[in-house]
Structure 1
Amino acid sequence: MSLLDKAKLRGTSDSVSVKDAYGKLVLVCLGGTGLTLVFQLALMIGIFRVGNKPPPTLVQLASGDSISVIPIDSTQRTDESILTFLNDIFTLTFTWSGTMQDKNQPGQFIVDSGIDVTAENGQRIGKVPTTVWEASFSLELNFRQEFLRQIAELVPQSVFTQKTNVAFVPVSFSTPEKVSNGRWKVRLVSNLLFLKDLGQVAEVVPYNVDIYVRSIVPPNPQLIDSLTQTTDTKTLTTLAQQVAQIRQAGLEIDSIIPSRRENLK
């Protein structure tokens, strides 16, 4: 065989090898594409199943207790949760007895010496009961300072000697009216009963207001628990825990406006 014939034969062989390699490469690519499509299809089926799976209605807490839940948007709150939150906060804010529960000894009461409230210039205005100060963490920060000053002017100092008691008596809370996304208006009609010695009613003060409340992100309970201060004999409640307990409903009051008499029904 001549050198020319050998060259032609080698060229033909190389051409066939290139074609075979190219064909194998195409097959590998097609196989990879097929596997990718299968994976994407499986992923879509999984997402579809998760999306159509009913949300859980029973949640177990870290303590072992189980509670029923309903799915809602993160900025929404039920009417019941809003009204419960407001009733609890206003009961704490406007019930003054001169005593308070001992947080370190449940079931025991101690004398409440109150907490001083000052004006913007640092001048002392008066005192508010500790429960009022704690409940005020449910208010928007800037509004909280002004509200505490108003309460300090209203609280009789005889409350701290237990000669005067004040009781909050709600007459009605209106159904929450949505004013914007995650914000509601509630009208409160109530009375404040000022009681003197022997529990005699000395004065009844109407307290009728429009309350504006909005949804917030509730604090992380696990983070708050990690801030607990423990001594050799007892566990102390930190300020962070007090704030978290007040704000765990995921709600905040940002405005309280007196209701006009003609607007009351």
Structure 2
Amino acid sequence: MVNLLKKKQQRTGSVLTTFAIATFSLHLLVLILFISQGLQIRQLSLRKPPTFVQMIDGKPIAATDDLARDPEAIRQFISKTMTSMFNWSGTLPPKNFEEVTKPLPDPGILVKTSQGGSQKVTTSSWVASFALSEDFRKGFLSVIAQITPPEIFATNPNQAMSAQLIIKRVYPPKQIAPGKWRVGMVADIIQKKRSDNRTKITTFNKDLLVQAVDSFAYPLDENSTNLQKAIYSNRADKLEIYEIRNLCLLDEYSNLTEEQLKQCTNRNKSDNFLR
């Protein structure tokens, strides 16, 4: 009888031990699953949103490669940025219908120059400069300030001037590295005095080096100003200009060798971004 009770107690203890081990194993498995799911959710939260590279006809297409950009989108980015940079009307872009008929004068924005002083650039130039890389933007704005006539901001009609960039050609982008392109542009900057329509034409033939950049969060509508929205629109293409050189026109642009480009660069070397 005693032996039977001992055997029964051993069987009960064995069942409880097995149940405890199984329960512990199940809890451990659930914990591992929770940790795995948590890591996957964290990776998803850190993943960049897809890059939309096609901005033609309002139909963006997600790229499989973060560094891929459509050639026509690059050309349009160059044209839009340079036009905004050098179209100086002396007035601010209209925000409503009333400002279309009565545009507000552009007060300009002061930037530091290489000589140590400060000069004005137009508001449109300052906004367009956010399409440049940060290390290039400051120096380029300094040059723009030095070549911007003070008459652009004059309220006296007899002194006022305007300027416009006339683009003749934008060459197809040539890839020079993953996510980087060289784009040639042939254009003229035409400055006109409003009182007598006298014009001054400055050749603007440049090689623009462009690179793909990461996306960033869109500013909240309720917290963003018109100026912030304008700046964001210049970054929406996920491209930026990181250098501007003199354009070499020794031969057909797309067929230039590296040696020809080197000769042209040495011949056109200048301390300024513009020549």
**Structure 1 length normalisation: TM-score?**
0.67
Q: C-alpha distance in 2, partners of 1:27/1:220?
A: 48
Q: 1:17 to 1:152 in 2, by over 3 A?
A: closer
Cα deviation, residue 96, structure 1: 1.8
Q: Which residue of 2 aligns with 1:181?
A: 178
Q: C-alpha distance in 2, partners of 1:78/1:16?
A: 74
Q: Which residue of 1 aligns with 2:103?
A: 109
Q: C-alpha distance in 2, partners of 1:199/1:74?
A: 51
Q: Which residue of 2 aligns with 1:84?
A: 76
Q: Which AA in structure 2 matches 1:7? A: V
1:71 and 2:72 are equivalent in the alignment: no
Cα deviation, residue 257, structure 1: 0.9
Q: 1:16 to 1:176 in 2, by over 3 A?
A: same
Q: C-alpha distance in 1, partners of 2:110/2:14?
A: 91
Secondary structure of the 1:100 match is: coil
2:223 to 217, 224, 227: 227
For 1:159-238, list aligned pairs within 5 A.
Answer: 159-161=152-154, 163-197=160-194, 200=197, 202-223=199-220, 225-228=221-224, 237=226
CA contact 1:219–1:247 (8 Å) conserved in 2? no
Q: Which residue of 2 aligns with 1:95?
A: 87
Q: Which residue of 1 aligns with 2:146?
A: 153
Q: C-alpha distance in 2, partners of 1:258/1:219?
A: 31
Q: Which residue of 1 aligns with 2:267?
A: none
Identity of aligned residues (%): 25
Q: Which residue of 2 aligns with 1:63?
A: none
Structure ID, larger Rg: 1
Q: Which residue of 2 aligns with 1:142?
A: 135
**Structure 2 length normalisation: TM-score?**
0.65
CA contact 2:114–2:142 (8 Å) conserved in 1? no
Q: Which residue of 1 aligns with 2:249?
A: 261
Q: 1:153 to 1:19 in 2, by over 3 A?
A: closer
Q: 1:11 to 1:173 in 2, by over 3 A?
A: same
User: How many pairs were matched up?
Assistant: 221
CA contact 1:227–1:240 (8 Å) conserved in 2? no
CA contact 1:219–1:244 (8 Å) conserved in 2? no
Q: C-alpha distance in 2, partners of 1:174/1:11?
A: 95
